[in-house]
A = this chain, B = another copy of it.
Amino acid sequence: MDPFPPLQNDLLLRAARGEDTPRAPVWMMRQAGRYLPEYRALRASSSFFEACRTPALVAEITLQPLERFDLDAAIIFSDILVVPQAMGLEVRMEKGIGPSLPDPLRHPDDLRRLAAPDVPAELGYVFEALTVTRHALAGRAPLIGFCGAPWTLMAYMVEGAGSKQFARARSWLHRYPDASRELLGRLAETLAEYLVRQVEAGAQAVQVFDSWAGLLGPREFEAFALPCLRDLAERFKQAHPDVPCIVFARGAHHALQALADTAYDVIGLDWTMDPAAARRQTGPKTLQGNLDPAALFADPATLRAAVRRMLEAFGPRRHIANLGHGMHPDHDPARAAVFVDAVHEFSETLRKAE
């Protein structure tokens, strides 16, 4: 295949490496999604996972937000649950409800049902989609690959669906600690290969989503979620030491210091975390985040003021601007534009004022 087009906007990569940038790079978690009418139109004719498995469609969906907004990164359209699928668990996406696993792990014996997947074969469609998308991006911005963190994937694999409490999944850590460690370890190994191959297929940075980290107490996070998160980053960095690796452990407010002490280059903050306090705990790491997505429901002037406050709280260096959680289906695309433009405008002004 042809070489990839040269990258014209490397702000995100430079900020992730801790280098100074003329303004904060910005992207939005779930920037391709249901809040965009053009996404809903494209998705009307195919199921969620069918779309994930169709590289041309993935490329189109991934690029949609870049057509509208002046974004500094694209993130591949996919889902964290493609990995449990590749390991042999059925995962359905139910419209308006979310993911459902009709036959989840109920007992440690069920670990035998899990395959050690042939990653290039089982997830080849993701790699192909990354390659196609990277070409389609034409160097406008770096392409981010991603995966779910081991604990977050385990949470779905044991619970069988999204849940407010994930009580069944959390019970495993207490009831079956050895089986939990085995499962988390196997996930970390598969996920590391998955991320490494995403880079080989075209990803220029990767993010690990530990969406349910906040359900764990500090001790359980440290005993179960953190070791496999750390292991995942180390395996990835062995293969690709120069490719930025972002971790977003939503709700793990007690773990910022511990996360800073891993191989991840960038620590994502959710909207409940205070950027200044996080800076003190994470030292020289680049931070990502963290505007309250609900601020996008405010009028443009209020939203712009909130963006400005956020940028001031992070300071002018080592910051990748983002939301503190994903875009919501009820969001107005026009407000996403206000967010992106305000980041550009204010972060340039703040840097010049230094």
Contact = CB atoms under 8 A, between A and B. Distances in A.
A220 interface: yes
A216 B270 CA distance: 11
Interface in A239-288: 251, 253-254, 271-274, 277
A292 B171 contact: no
Given A174-B295, A253-B253, A297-B171, A218 B162 contact: no
A274 B330 contact: no
Interface in A113-169: 162, 164-165, 167-168
Give chain A's interface residue range (CB within 8 Å of chain B).
35 or more
Nearest to A290: B217
Stoichiometry, copies per complex: 2
A280 B172 CA distance: 32
Nearest to A162: B164
A298 interface: yes
Interface in A301-348: 302-303, 309, 324-325, 328, 330
A214 interface: yes
Interface of A: 162, 164-165, 167-168, 170-171, 173-175, 214, 216-220, 251, 253-254, 271-274, 277, 292-299, 302-303, 309, 324-325, 328, 330
